[in-house]
Amino acid sequence: MATPEVRAIAGTVCGRWEDTVAVFRGIPYAQPPVGALRFAPPAPAQRWDGVRDVASFGPPAPQADAPDSDHDTDWLTLNVWSPDPGDARLPVMVWIHGGRYLEGHTGNPHQNGAILAAAGVVVVSLNYRVGFEGFAHVAGAPNNRGLLDQIAALHWVHDNISAFGGDPTNVTLFGQSAGAGSIAALLTAADRAGLFHRAIIQSLPGTFFTEQLAAAVSAQIAEQLDTQPSAAELQRFSPHTLVTASHALLARMPRFVQSWGPMALTPTPFSPIVDGSTVPESPWRALAAGAARDIKVPFRVRDR
């Protein structure tokens, strides 16, 4: 069987056939968010000439178990599993991984999309900025950079997935834990129109931060480094240094319960920020008011 090649907007990619599924790993959907692009919204991926081999997963965003991410900075990549690359117009399922908004990546073997794809859908999974890089409040930078990454990946799907055999008008988001919380936030995002049509939300966490709370968390992390939580000051510190400082705060969070409330007893110092922009209002309030009436969201109530 010929090696599968697909012409995406940025350039041609060469994947691998694995049994009956064509797999494309580590396709960049945005530029590495480093240097001048650090703490910035995701910038469109640069075009390339020739054929790009996409046999391996991209590196995870900076997190405790990925110290090499300071040097291997192609964090913003996605993966596609397709049983029929071409003009098949198959349903699309986009997976958003969990991990406490602090960790996670698509190279986890438990998140292999091959079984779903073999059943007749095109599966996409994506890496996004987690931890401080993706969810901390940073003065002079946009909030919710991890969510902005996810939105950029969904735009990539909308613009490119038909070439991989998918139908961009039939996209289902699904995710677990922090991935589910991300989807709840995306359901209320102003600029998500047309990017997805169904959502499956698994093990939804309850925390969404005010800007005031997020700023207090960032101030505590920056204080450990004797600096200010601004984009200009934090550029001096490597991503992994901020990972280490974030985990140091995590160990001390219970002492802030009087000022931070129940969030101080959770297993993460980060969550999506209700900033009036990317997340216009609390998802609970927005969804109760019908913000996502156009999206099909199945739910199950547990018996008590």
Q: Can you say how many angstroms the Cα of residue 35 is from the centroid of all Cα atoms in its chain?
A: 20
Run of H or E residues at 159: helix 145-160
Chain segment 3-28, per-residue pLDDT in tens: 999 999 999 999 999 999 999 999 99
**Phi, psi of 223, rounded to the nearest 5 degrees:** -60, -35
How confident is the model at residue 299, as a pLDDT?
Answer: 66
- Please state, in angstroms and rounded to a whole number, the distance separating the CA atoms of residues 282 and 128: 22
Query: 208-227 burial, b if ≥16 CB within 10 A, otherwise e?
Result: bbeeebbbbbbebbbeebee
Residue ranges with strand state E in 136-264: 166-176, 198-202, 209-210
Q: Above 60 in pLDDT, residue 303?
A: no
Q: What pLDDT, on a 0 to 100 scale, did the predictor assign at position 41?
A: 97
Sorted by sequence, the CB contacts under 8 Å of residue 288 that are 6+ apart come out as none
Going by the DSSP 8-state scheme, the letter that residue 189 receives in this structure is -
Q: Which CATH number fits domain 5-208+274-289: 3.40.50.1820, 3.90.1300.10, 3.30.1540.10, 3.30.70.260?
A: 3.40.50.1820
How far apart, in whole angstroms, are the C-alpha atoms of residue 184 and residue 292?
10
> pLDDT tens-digit profile of 269-289?
999 999 999 999 999 888 888
Mean pLDDT of the chain: 94
- pTM of the complete model: 0.96
Exposure pattern of 249-281 as b/e (b: 16+ CB <10 Å)? bbeebeebeeebeebbebebbbbbbbbeebbbe
* Residue 302 pLDDT exceeds 90: no
Q: What ranges do the domains of the chain cover? A: 5-208+274-289
